[in-house]
Amino acid sequence: MSDITIEDGVLQYRRSGTRWLSSGWRGGYRTDPVVYNVSVPEEWDHVDLDAYGKRRCKRAGFDAAGPTLFTGVDLQHTRGARCGSVEAVTTAGISNPATLPIVPTRSTATSESSRGFRPGTVNIILSTSEPLTDGALATLLGTAVEAKTATLLAESDITGTTSDAIVVGCERLRSSDNRTQPDDSDRDREKQPFAGSATAVGTAARACVRESVRASLSSRYAETPSPEETEHGVTTTRRATVFEL
């Protein structure tokens, strides 16, 4: 399904003919042959992410353009998982956890932005060989986030970190370009309109995210730390006002 290469702290995930949706830096929909996950040093405080990402990719010998994620996790802790038509590649670090108490109180020890920031980050690159509509690709992103959150809650009692990002991709039918006629291999294929947890793609994505996140955490931590054991992150203690319609 893909060609994965790691050089000089940069992971290149190559999968040609793919339509991507990224929640990371300069995210959104785009069609590119690659996605990058760049490991950054602990003291990293770069503001110009475009220039930094391009410089790191060039130094690693990669010249193709594509969505770029950044992580404080060493890429030796990258883990992947495959299920059906789906593949996920994950780096998981939780040094800057985010928690969401269901019954928030002002007596909570930590609150928004009180513990600073340190790049830890759970980054996930997930792709499927199934063609999806743009709406279904957005649903797939939500499905992956839900699976990541459920896995982190089970493993460490957090919902994520302050800098998580996910890129999801699907097969891009050549016939989706209005300037061309459908290829013979595409004539009997249609874009799937759904990618939620009840679909084959969604089910496979949930499994891949769960396994790859757990494997990356296990690679990095002898025992997954709890939010209280970390020095960075946020806890949402504020309340919203409920209204009736």
Q: Which two tokens mark 212?
A: 């790859």
Per-residue pLDDT 10s for the chain (245 aa) are 699 999 999 999 999 999 999 999 999 999 999 999 999 987 777 679 999 999 999 999 999 999 999 999 999 999 999 999 999 999 999 988 999 988 876 544 444 544 444 557 999 999 999 999 999 999 999 999 999 999 999 999 999 999 999 999 999 987 544 444 444 455 457 999 999 999 999 999 999 999 999 999 999 988 877 777 676 788 888 889 999 99
Count of CB atoms situated within 10 Å of the CB of 214? 19
Q: Are strands 34-39 and 68-71 parallel, antiparallel or unpaired?
A: parallel
E-state strands within 84-159: 86-92, 97-99, 122-131
Task: Please tell me the predicted confidence (pLDDT) of residue 105.
Answer: 66
Q: Helix axis angle, 200-220 relative to 134-156, nearest 10°?
A: 40
| CA gap 192, 115 in Å, rounded | 43
Task: Please tell me the predicted confidence (pLDDT) of residue 119.
Answer: 55
| CA gap 49, 70 in Å, rounded | 9
Q: Is residue 242 part of a domain?
A: no
Within 8 A by CB and 6+ apart from 188, the residues are: none
Give the CATH number of the domain where residue 214 resides.
3.60.70
Bridge-partner residues for 86, per DSSP? 83, 128
Task: Please tell me the predicted confidence (pLDDT) of residue 44.
Answer: 77
Q: Is residue 241 part of a domain?
A: no
Q: Is residue 74 part of a domain?
A: yes
The DSSP output letter for 18 is E
Q: Is residue 73 part of a domain?
A: yes
Task: Please tell me the predicted confidence (pLDDT) of residue 227.
Answer: 72
Task: Please tell me the predicted confidence (pLDDT) of residue 243.
Answer: 96
Range of the domain at 13: 3-235
Asked if residues 27 and 67 have their Cβ atoms less than 8 Å apart, the reply is yes
pTM score of the predicted model: 0.89
Q: Is residue 240 part of a domain?
A: no
Alpha-carbon 241 to chain mean position: 31
Q: Is residue 13 part of a domain?
A: yes
| CA gap 81, 213 in Å, rounded | 9
Phi-psi region of 141 (alpha: psi -120 to 50; beta: other; left: phi over 0): alpha
Among candidate residues 155, 145, 146, the one with its CA nearest the CA of residue 221 = 155
Task: Please tell me the predicted confidence (pLDDT) of residue 231.
Answer: 66
Give me the number of domains the chain comprises: 1
Task: Please tell me the predicted confidence (pLDDT) of residue 153.
Answer: 94
Task: Please tell me the predicted confidence (pLDDT) of residue 173.
Answer: 87
Q: Is residue 146 part of a domain?
A: yes
Task: Please tell me the predicted confidence (pLDDT) of residue 116.
Answer: 44
Given the structure tokens 């609150």, which residue do they identify?
Answer: 111
Q: Is residue 145 part of a domain?
A: yes
CA angle 61, 34, 59 (to 5 degrees): 20
The DSSP output letter for 220 is H
| CA gap 125, 100 in Å, rounded | 25
